[in-house]
Structure 1
Amino acid sequence: MTTLAKPAMRPARPEFSSGPCAKRPGWTPENLQNAVLGRSHRSKIGKARLKEAIDRTREVLQVPDDFLIGIVPGSDTGAVEMAMWSMLGPRPVQLLAFESFGKDWVTDVVKQLKIPAEVLDAPYGELPDLTRVRPDADLVFTWNGTTSGVRVPNADFISADREGVVICDATSAAFAQDLDWTKLDAITFSWQKALGGEAAHGVLILSPRAVARLESYTPPWPMPKLFRMTAPNKEGGGGKVNLEIFEGATINTPSMLAVEDAVDALKWAASIGGLTEMRRRADANLAVLEAWTQRAPWAAFLAQDPAIRSNTSVCLKVIDSRVTGLSDDAQADFAKKLAAALEREGVALDVGGYRDAPPGLRIWCGATVDTSDLDALTPWLDWAFATVAADLLTA
């Protein structure tokens, strides 16, 4: 039996998925009418549109002029894999693992590339001991844990005099958090996160130090075509970085519809004030949920420390004793019923916690989400909990 009446207000846009994320405000399919369709992506107009996406990315993200930006296959995963397979090996490797994707990179480095890396891990909701990061080692880490709602507060733990390269999975941090370009060498993200773009395309940004590693080191393992960023020299070893990849000549065939969608999102980002305004919008969205948890005794953030709390992929857990006293399977079932109740009402879509994370809700708060929609959502969160909890007590 429901103990709360249904709220009167509903979010105008109930898309709170953590990927693909909500489209930008005001988006319609007509925004894509100038897409380069039925033409080769290697045509002059096709490469020009890809280069526009690269240039607008540099402008909005404030990427240094001497960094390379490329559009690569396989979403953020593909971009991270390209960096790891191409750069890791000549130095010791450390990995930070505090959420699902960070753990995936551990598997790839240790089991696939067979590099005896040091893993600095932490439970969901926490960060590893960052003081253990070594300046002489290569580092792989996620800036923002999409599946845990935890982010690093800054890059102070990375030495300015580091000898290794730093590979940073920034897929749910880019366009919402301050990335310290002076401390990062291979930075990755996908359009489907903070830009609300479409899947399958990744972006790989390389510092001059990353380029130097690519041109001075040849990995001992076979390199799939999709990962190759250098043109072999006459001796067959690694050569110069293929700059065409970073000027719009992609390794494989991209979707020009997805490219046009990314260009549209980047135009919108620039029009509202660029990175500064996108960060402000994400912070304002997080603040709505932070204020709500202060008056919702049944819910709390998975990241208890506000200093490391994500302002994009916000992960919530149920702390009501009626639920925490249940078995693990029953708690997971309760969380699924919460998400299902919200979806049935059409007020929040795809907000279930990630499958490998502790049971709960995951609500995207990036800049493409309007703060007014989160304001309208919070009463529905309370309604859903009351409804599912009432059913639990009468079962």
Structure 2
Amino acid sequence: MTSTTKPGLRPANPNFSSGPCAKRPGWSLEGLADAPLGRSHRAKIGKDKLALAIDLTREVLQVPADYRIGIVPASDTGAVEMALWSLLGEHGVDMVAWESFGAGWVTDVVKQLKLADVRTFEAPYGELPDLSKIDFDRDVVFTWNGTTSGVRVADADFIPADRKGLTICDATSAAFAQRLDFAKLDVVTYSWQKALGGEGAHGVLILSPRAVERLLTYKPAWPLPKIFRLTSGGKLIEGIFKGETINTPSMLCVEDYIDALNWAKSIGGLDTLIARADANAAVVEKHVAQSDWLGNLAIDPATRSNTSVCLSIVDPAVTSLGAEALAAFAKAMVSALDKEGVAYDIGAYRDAPPGLRIWCGATVETSDLEALMPWLDWAFETQKAALKAAA
């Protein structure tokens, strides 16, 4: 039994938000002093910075040499939408979703693009759909890691190497924390503000040679706004993949992204980033295993995220009160932790079941998660005591 006595140890950094995520350890504004502020992104210095960001992305994320990497507007959302609107429509498409963002891509394809041949495979929060039913002779759209459910694909073994369709993967809370099998992925997207703790508003679009071929041989039936256009005159706009962005980027944000990538290199690259996220998630997993009130939203341990870890309140005394009371209880816990300054922004996503969501990516220190765990118990016991007092 835990106590309503406050723990003595506090996390040194209470930022556990799932986006924007915690800055890298040791981050400071002084690290951005080299940003070419007040300069054009089209000047040589601006282009060089953007090209460096792309080169470092390829190195740290281990992107194949023949894949193109572009910096695009509107975060991961912009990158995904560019792919959907530019590539879909030539073939039937299988849409795979198990949380809110994946469901959003389903809505866009069905209700906005209004494609005629769409199949949808969905699962409730905490589960994966039956991936064996996907037809990879069609185009396939899926998220690698469900940010709002804490459920990820364990690997890309379910994708055949000899597929005929394209695979479009929203990897925004997986990149830099989980190993992406690029040979099985034709489009990969993510945003800077996730796993490396960068600033918002910028996305990354990674295209395989097969995706580039589709762009060059297929013209959608609908008009594309300028911000989505990846080709011109039947040719790929190569500048996008060399740092000549479609619209004006923030050079301060670019510098921050470069800073994060350099930090990732300095600690050992992708292997170390993954190991840090795994170690962080293990702290939470251990605490859940020892808890009588806390559970994992993700049912299958093999598909549990090591970044956006989503937790449920399973104490019958609380869950028996009904969904509305459970949501209020979880919200009160989150508020109490926020007021104590020990955990910010760890409430479940608004469309997800009530509970907690704790970011465990590589920019979070394991020691901070270890310090946080007793505070979760304190918040639960405090709110449960208040519930009893009010009864």
Q: Output the TM-score relative to the length of structure 1.
A: 0.97
Q: Which residue of 2 aligns with 1:195?
A: 196
Is 1:278 equivalent to 2:277 in the alignment? no
Distance (whole Å) between structure 2 residues aligned to residue 76 and residue 41 of structure 1: 21
Supply the AA of the counterpart residue of 2:229: R
2:359 counterpart residue number: 364
SS across alignment from 1:76: helix
For the Cα contact (< 8 Å) 1:167–1:185, is it kept in 2? yes
Q: For 1:121-166, what per-residue CA distance to the aligned partner results, in whole angstroms no more than 9, with x for missing partners? A: 0010000000011121100000000000000001111111111011
State the partner residue of 2:70: 70
Which residue pairs with 2:306 in the alignment?
311
> What runs of 5+ residues in structure 2 fail to find an aligned partner?
none
In the aligned structure 1, how far is the partner of 2:219 from the partner of 2:147?
Answer: 32
Identity within the alignment, %:
66
Give 1:138's aligned residue: 139
Q: Which residue of 2 aligns with 1:35?
A: 35
Q: 1:260 aligns with which of 240, 255, 264?
A: 255
Counterpart Cα distance in 2 of 1:348 and 1:192: 18
Native 8 Å contact 1:323 1:331 kept in 2 = yes
Q: How big is each residue's C-alpha offset from its partner over 1:171-229, in whole Å with a ceiling of 9 and x where there is no partner?
A: 00000001001100010000100010000000000000000000000000110110000
Partner of 1:205: 206
Secondary structure, in 3 states, of the residue corresponding to 1:289? helix
In the other structure, the counterpart of 1:4 is: 4
| Deviation for aligned residue 1:304 | 2.0
Which residue of structure 1 lines up, in the alignment, with residue 17 of structure 2? 17
SS at match of 2:189: strand
Match of 1:379 among 374, 378, 383: 374
Distance 1:36 1:323 in 2: 54
Kindly indicate whether the alpha-carbon contact (under 8 Å) linking 1:3 and 1:390 is maintained by their aligned counterparts in 2.
Answer: no
Alignment of 1:1-395 (within 5 A): 3-116=3-116, 117-232=118-233, 239-395=234-390
CA shift for structure 1 position 3: 4.3
Q: Is the 8 A contact 2:3 2:377 kept in 1?
A: no
Quick one: which amino acid aligns to residue 392 of structure 1? L
The one-letter code matched in structure 2 to 1:378 is M
Q: Classify the secondary structure of the residue corresponding to 1:293.
A: helix
- Report the AA paired with residue 361 of structure 2: G
CA RMSD of aligned residues (A): 0.8
Output one character per residue of 1:235-263: Cα deviation in whole Å (capped at 9) or x when no partner. Answer: xxxx1110100000000000000000000
State the SS of the aligned residue for 1:359. Answer: coil
Say which SS state the counterpart of residue 310 (structure 2) adopts.
strand
Instruction: After TM superposition, give the deviation of residue 64 of structure 1 in Å.
Output: 0.2
Q: CA deviation at 1:316?
A: 0.2
Counterpart Cα distance in 1 of 2:40 and 2:289: 54
Distance 1:172 1:278 in 2: 13
- SS of the residue corresponding to residue 387 of structure 1 reads helix
Q: 2-side partners of 1:294 and 1:154: how far apart?
A: 24
| Contact 1:339-1:351 within 8 A present in 2 as well | yes
Query: Quick one: which amino acid aligns to residue 384 of structure 1?
Result: A
- 8 Å CA contact 1:136–1:164 kept in 2: the answer is yes
What amino acid maps onto 1:91 in structure 2?
A: H
Q: Unaligned regions of 5+ residues in structure 1, if any?
A: 233-238
Separation in 2, partners of 1:224, 1:147? 29
Q: Following the alignment from structure 1 to structure 2, what is the Cα–Cα distance between the partners of residues 334 and 210?
A: 47
What is the SS of the residue equivalent to 2:197? coil
On the 8 A contact 1:95/1:120 being kept in 2, the answer is yes
Q: Return the letter of the residue paired with 1:278.
A: L
Number of aligned residue pairs: give it.
388
Deviations 1:79-131 (A, max 9, x none): 00000000000101001110000000000000000014111000100000000
Moved >4 Å (runs of 4+):
none
Q: SS of the residue aligned with 1:16?
A: coil
Kindly provide the CA deviation profile for residues 341-389 of structure 1, in whole angstroms up to 9, marking residues without a partner as x.
1100000000000000000000000000000000000000000000011
Asked if the contact 1:73/1:252 (under 8 Å) is kept, the reply is yes
